[in-house]
A and B are shown apart, each in its own frame.
Chain A
Amino acid sequence: MSMKPELMKRMVKGPDGVEFEVEPLRDYFCEAPPTVMPAAYSRIVEDLFNWARAESLWILGFGTGCGAIEMRPLMTPRFDAYRFGVQWRPTPRQANLFIISGYLSTKTLKRAIRSYEQMQNPKYVIGLGSCTINGGMYWDSYNTIKRLDDYLPVDLYIAGCMPRPEALLAGFQELKTIIRAGKAEGANKYAENFEWYKANQKRVIHDWDMPDYNW
């Protein structure tokens, strides 16, 4: 298994003319696996946190499949998800909700895992459409995964092919109740079962060329 060229150890010349060695896996990435984030010291504080988390769902604008087309009417005035505190963000670091919008090929799964691991805790995953649930119409496809929860911790599935924007809005409301109830522990589940998730991911991604944990 070889790493990408940009992840190899190399000599870099800085702007001041000094040459130094860069080992990206050690210098740019976190070597330690993810850790479980404990709840706040008091129940009432945790409830406050969860209320705040539920009211600011920031979605990573990463359309993995055809379902991404349902997000455009949601962003725009017709359905206007912003009135529910839902907004789309351009980078994983700024987002806490990852919507896997439809089928996920193994090539995209690699990018989805990278993006998910780069998101900050607490983070949530919604599986959108029947493809994420059981493969959907790609049930016999040679390069799409069949069940998303083997690879990423899914908090909520929205069934349909495709679900309408109204279904997504209902899903956001459902996710909010899950978060408020303190049951949206996907990131902690991922940290607890990190080895299991990695084994599943590596079983389908044959050319694993990135660090095991992309933080």
Chain B
Amino acid sequence: MGKVIKTVLNRVEGEIQLKLHWEKGKVKDAFIIAPNFRGFEFILEGKPVLDALVINPRICGICGHAHLIATTKAIENIYENTGQKIDVPQNAKLIRDITIGAEIIQNHIRWFYMFVMPDFIKLEKGRKLKAFEPVKGIKWQQAVDYSSKIVKVIAVFGGQWPHTSYAVPGGVVCDPTTFEIVEATATVDSLIKFTEENIFGMNLDTYISITSEDEFLDRAKGSDLKEFLFLCKKHKLDREGKSYHRFLTVCEMEHVFEKGITKKKKKDFHVGKVRRD
């Protein structure tokens, strides 16, 4: 047997170990080991069903709200499967979508600036990526500011982030005033501006109208996404860890996936035929 190398990968909720078996300069086998076990699936056993609304978000500190919404929907399904109709009012559905959306925005910012970009500093010895330096870098600090700002939207409707249980089967517990809704929309506007100036490097409408990577690279000014794409290509990350082309996608991303439905037999994909219900 060849060489075995274990690497520790730290990030969220406990470390992950990556165990690689090397043979003749190639990875023969790979194992991802998560040595920490909390056992939520066993902890839930025998508990009253609504208690899952309190326990499940605590599976994850960065995306606990997704666990809450998923749990709420799962419990609603349980009621429905026993023949009890659950009517979630339209405004509650919208509020759930808004708060889960706010958490996703927070996730994107924290992952990109805190968990992805700092790793490039190690690869980029010669180049200055000082702005992305954890704790000290100005871009890292801005990511703290704006990722913390967007979760205020969850606090408006759910009281706090992380770990609220404000969504319950049948709806949400809040009844926001007009002024609380305005507080949330103002927060979202401020995030759009941050994203335009720092991530897209152009305004949102322009970004949505972009049709190719070249056009994006050409038009983006001061864009961290552009910087990221540059670094990925420079270090050939767009060629590493390639998957099996089992994606449904409306765009091309060089080397990684192609436009179309690519499971087994490639088919054409027409974005114009996509409907949103």
Tell me if chain B binds chain A. no
Interface residues of B (CB under 8 A from A): none
Interface residues of A (CB under 8 A from B): none
